[in-house]
Amino acid sequence: MKSASPAVALELHLRACANVTCLGVRPDFSDYPPKDAAIIRDAAKIYYPSTFYADMFAAMGKPIFPSAHTYRFVQDKIKQSALFAMLDVPRPETRAFYGRRRQEKILAHFRFPVVGKIPRGSALGRGVYLIENADDLQTYCDLTGVAYIQEYLPIDRDIRVVIIGDSVALAYWRIASPGEFRSNLECGGRISLDNVPAGACELALDTARRCGWNDVGLDICVCNGRYYVLEANMKYGKTGFARAGIDYAKMMEAKIGNGEI
């Protein structure tokens, strides 16, 4: 069933969609002009309400997209990892370490090499470090008060699976450049659309559903014949869509118009 009037969004993700009115995010609601405030109050659903407003609309009972659960885990690897552990999602061994003795605790749980990540706020491959020895570990721990350590898997690629709504919108390989352990496109990785395994998409979709996330890019890897979830990205890039010949704005217009999201 097609929407009779423009959908309403706050963040600007959908500004290129012809069937969406984007009003912007104003942290003080009283700063919205009365007309825009009325549009927000009367809207049947708010798209991309922002991290700031997501829980407020959820508390009011107003439908939003993405879900409030999706917003609650944005760029927070510690919360993501804890949820994966609770749900027994297949993943590399991952732990967060706190306090002055965190290096000692890390060495009690892991052997080099390991991967260290800045646990909150990092994206696009920034804040991800290959730690091969004690000096590397010291350098990493000097950067962050909370050490987020992940088992190193000997892989040169992973699979980005983008879930929008309740289905896989896109899946592609990200292949690391020579000498680089990160496969992020911003770190020189390249995209391949060839032979993406169905098992990776199935794991990503099942993980997203169980976590309550409906707009997320999940990074999946294959190691020794097993699939692992590396992390979730609620702020994922759109380069893969263009490479696959998908017009992101047109795709989202269709999903909104037919009530899929």
113-156 tens-digit pLDDT = 999 999 987 655 578 999 999 999 999 999 999 999 999 999 99
Segments of the chain with pLDDT less than 50: 1-3
- The CA-based diameter of the chain, rounded to the nearest angstrom, is 61
Q: What is the pLDDT of residue 223?
A: 96
Amino acid at 192: S
Cβ atoms of 154 and 223 within 8 Å: the answer is yes
Cβ atoms of 201 and 161 within 8 Å: the answer is yes
Angle, helices 198-211 vs 77-87, to 10°: value is: 100
Q: What is the pLDDT of residue 179?
A: 81
Superfamily name and number for 157-257: ATP-grasp fold, B domain (3.30.470.20)
Sign of the CA dihedral 88, 94, 98, 101? positive
As a residue count, the chain comes to 261
Q: What is the pLDDT of residue 57?
A: 98
127 HSE (CA, 13 A, CB side): 16
Q: Report the alpha-carbon distance of residue 16 to residue 90 in Å, rounded.
A: 37
User: What is the per-residue pLDDT across 89-100, written as a single tens digit (0 to 9) for each?
Assistant: 999 999 999 999
Q: Global pTM?
A: 0.93
Q: What is the pLDDT of residue 85?
A: 97
Q: What is the pLDDT of residue 122?
A: 60
Cβ atoms of 187 and 156 within 8 Å: the answer is no
Which residues is 167 bridged to in the sheet?
164
Sign of the CA dihedral 143, 149, 152, 157? negative
Q: What is the pLDDT of residue 1?
A: 43
Say how many C-beta atoms besides its own lie within 10 A of residue 179's C-beta: 6
Q: Report the alpha-carbon distance of residue 181 to residue 153 in Å, rounded.
A: 10
Q: Report the alpha-carbon distance of residue 119 to residue 88 in Å, rounded.
A: 20
Which among 78, 83, 71 is positioned nearest to 213, based on CA atoms? 71
What does the domain layout of the chain look like in residue ranges? 7-65, 93-151, 157-257
Cβ atoms of 39 and 28 within 8 Å: the answer is no
Long-range contact pairs involving 33-40 (C-beta distance under 8 Å, separation at least 24): 39/8, 40/8, 40/10
Architecture of domain 93-151: 2-Layer Sandwich (3.30)
Q: What is the pLDDT of residue 120?
A: 84
Sign of the CA dihedral 249, 251, 255, 258? positive
Roughly how many angstroms between the first and final C-alpha of the chain, as a whole number?
A: 12
